Structure 1
Amino acid sequence: MTMTPATGLTDLVRASLGDPLAEIAEQHVEPLHHGSGALSTASLHRVRGTTTSGVSWSFFVKSIHAIKHSAWFAKMPEGMRADALAQFPWRADADAYLARRPLPGGLRLPRMYRLDDLGDDRLVMWLEDVRVAPTTWDLDRYRAAARLLGDLAVAWPVAGRSSVPREPLNRGLRWYCAGPVANLFLPILRNPATWRHPLVARHADPLLHADLLALTDRIGPLLEALDRLPHTLVHGDAGPMNLLVPSDGSAEFVAVDWSWPHPAAVGFDLGQLVVGRAHTGELDPADLPAVHEVIEAAYVAATAGIADPCEVSFGYVAALVLRSAWTAIPLELLDHEPTPELNDLFRKRAGLARFIVDLGRSLRLCDGC
């Protein structure tokens, strides 16, 4: 992390505290863990301290960069790199703050105090360090999140349905399916050795293997059908980890890590909401159907003015399949030590894969699609 000069940090502290005379007495920098799969995130830090009058201050500092700076870039097939450089929305999170779009009541962004441009497609965001209340993600919490995501869709319409779209609307999903899915994930899933790996073979049966690969035949038709649905701007990664519950009661949720600048079909944001805690192993596969039912119903009610229930259901499940089916099993962890904890994660993630596959197999085009 490139530290800001003390005078600049003093200005930030004064702005955050609303005290033009505040002076820094001490400061600390704490590195924070971030997932290795976050291609645009260079680092996360908490910069905190106290003033000479004993008042505490703190910032959440997020450094982002173009995909060319990611460790994963060199591992990409050479034919993918130019397209990835052009298509990957590395600065989507920063742009969400700069856009200042109105948000529905109950939802807010953290305050961004400053955006530093370091050059060479590198940015540093100095953000409010949101104090999070102790919370449980029960069905009521999921319901509230889905309702607000529906309200967000209503607030940010982009394009209505079209029987013959002039150009594909789902640019982000199309790039994702043609790039990472086709060139990275599917070759691993098609490799018989993957399914013989102890971590996979113990929890994923041959039928899951066959069903996952059979879904690949639907990629093109699903993308075309999604183009004919009502579209909105979206959060893009609206999992529970990115919907913070602030302890000060300033909102129901503080939404962080905005990641999808492209228009998407109604229902898109529900995908990450349902898989977020399943990815980490916090949500058992047995609980997925109840979460699925609750969030779909809440989102349908919120978006009644812009989409029919069947359109929401199709948009939600089709995007979930295209974005999450082939990454449900944590293939990136196959070279890790097979600890009991990792075995349990593979069990849960295989259950997530089965849940998504079953939704995908039952998916039927509605009249509006």
Structure 2
Amino acid sequence: MQDIELSVSTVELVAASALQADRPVRVLQYVLEPFGVPLSSMTTGGLWRLTGTAIDDIGTRQFHAVLKVIHTPLRWAGIDAVPVEMRGFVVAHVPWRTEADVYRSDLAKYLPAGLRLPDIYLIEDLDEDSAAIWMEDVQPESAGGWDNDCYTRVAYLLGCLAGAPEAPMGAERDIADFVVGPGEHVFIPMLRSGILHSHPAFDHAIDHHLEQDMLLFLDHIPLLLTEAAALPRTRAHGDACPQNMLRAGGGTVAID
């Protein structure tokens, strides 16, 4: 996890924004604790939860926020696993600034009813290769997991976003990048090696034909990429999954 130096002035700015205070606040105490470090993400330097108390014209109040640091893939903890000759490709094709750019844009006003972004309190460029995003500490509903109705509803909302004609497009990623990058260098070799046959995900969860079907599918990838390249491009979350689509307040909050 990337080291973070936190100033009182930054905490006070975040606290004032989180509390929706009209005037500057004075922070009485705060704690910044790391949580859920997704080391598999090339562009995430770390996640922290900020809690504290501050005083303003209303009185003494508690505030909460989440800090996410994003950075160039070259600072990823697992970059040593990427061949040196491939690192230029990774930097060119993994747009690490996208999340900050989205939060700085006016995309939020084009989202369909029922889908929103987290409230953003502050975005700071730490240096030319990293940035800090201070955002709402969304508290997702804990009752039950995702069912078919949840997936259907979120799929509909994402479809509405894709079809929003005036929404900004943002950074584009070609689906071929996933094949040329992690596909050809990680996942396809693993599949061809047979090592996945003993992976727990294959055990009792699917029929025994899946591995062979996946191997046959590899032969169709070039044609599918050609067909995909000819299709219109729209807006997409990029990593829409229950972890990043938080159900809260009767709607869905899209993060990451």
TM-score by length of 1: 0.60
8 Å Cα contact 2:38-2:46 kept in structure 1: no
Residue 9 of structure 1 and its aligned partner are, at CA, apart by 1.4
**Other-structure match for 1:116:** 124
**Other-structure match for 1:238:** 240
CA distance in 2, matches of 1:32, 1:220: 40
**Other-structure match for 2:92:** 86
User: RMSD of aligned C-alpha atoms?
Assistant: 2.3
SS at 1:240 equivalent: coil
CA distance in 2, matches of 1:21, 1:38: 35
Question: Which of 94, 97, 100 matches 2:103?
Answer: 97
CA distance in 2, matches of 1:156, 1:177: 29
CA distance in 2, matches of 1:173, 1:47: 36
Question: Which of 43, 46, 58 matches 2:46?
Answer: 43
Q: How does 1:189-208 map to 2 (within 5 A)?
A: 189-192=191-194, 194-195=195-196, 197=198, 199=200, 207-208=209-210
| Structure 1 residues 124 and 171: CA distance shift in structure 2, 3 A | closer
Q: How does 1:36-75 map to 2 (within 5 A)?
A: 36-52=39-55, 53-75=59-81
Residue 33 of structure 1 and its aligned partner are, at CA, apart by 1.1
- The one-character-per-residue Cα deviations of 1:142-175 (angstroms, maximum 9, x if unpaired) are 22111111111111579xxxxxxxxxxx843111
Residue 56 of structure 1 and its aligned partner are, at CA, apart by 1.1
* Pairs aligned (count): 242
| Structure 1 residues 130 and 202: CA distance shift in structure 2, 3 A | closer
SS at 1:184 equivalent: helix
8 Å Cα contact 2:13-2:24 kept in structure 1: no
**Structure 2 unaligned runs (5+)?**
none
1:253 paired to 2:252: yes
Residue 201 of structure 1 and its aligned partner are, at CA, apart by 7.8
Higher strand share: 2
- The one-character-per-residue Cα deviations of 1:36-58 (angstroms, maximum 9, x if unpaired) are 32111110000111124431101
8 Å Cα contact 1:135-1:245 kept in structure 2: no
SS at 1:118 equivalent: strand
Residue 208 of structure 1 and its aligned partner are, at CA, apart by 2.9
**Other-structure match for 2:213:** 211
TM-score by length of 2: 0.85
CA distance in 1, matches of 2:197, 2:235: 41
SS at 1:114 equivalent: strand
**Farther off after superposition, 199-208 or 110-119:** 199-208
**Other-structure match for 1:341:** none
8 Å Cα contact 2:120-2:134 kept in structure 1: yes
Residue 2 of structure 1 and its aligned partner are, at CA, apart by 1.7
CA distance in 1, matches of 2:196, 2:132: 41
| Structure 1 residues 156 and 238: CA distance shift in structure 2, 3 A | farther
SS at 1:245 equivalent: strand
- The one-character-per-residue Cα deviations of 1:205-227 (angstroms, maximum 9, x if unpaired) are 76433221111111111111122
Residue 128 of structure 1 and its aligned partner are, at CA, apart by 1.2
Higher helix share: 1
**Structure 1 unaligned runs (5+)?**
159-169, 258-369
1:12 paired to 2:23: no
Q: How does 1:1-369 map to 2 (within 5 A)?
A: 1-19=3-21, 20-52=23-55, 53-101=59-107, 102-136=110-144, 137-156=146-165, 171-192=173-194, 194-195=195-196, 197=198, 199=200, 207-247=209-249, 249=250, 252-257=251-256
| Structure 1 residues 196 and 124: CA distance shift in structure 2, 3 A | same
- The one-character-per-residue Cα deviations of 1:253-297 (angstroms, maximum 9, x if unpaired) are 11101xxxxxxxxxxxxxxxxxxxxxxxxxxxxxxxxxxxxxxxx
Moved over 4 A (4+): 195-206
Residue 119 of structure 1 and its aligned partner are, at CA, apart by 1.2
- The one-character-per-residue Cα deviations of 1:229-269 (angstroms, maximum 9, x if unpaired) are 3321111111111111223x5xx111101xxxxxxxxxxxx
CA distance in 2, matches of 1:129, 1:200: 32
Residue 124 of structure 1 and its aligned partner are, at CA, apart by 0.7
CA distance in 2, matches of 1:150, 1:77: 37
Q: In structure 2, give the amino acid aligned to 1:68.
A: L
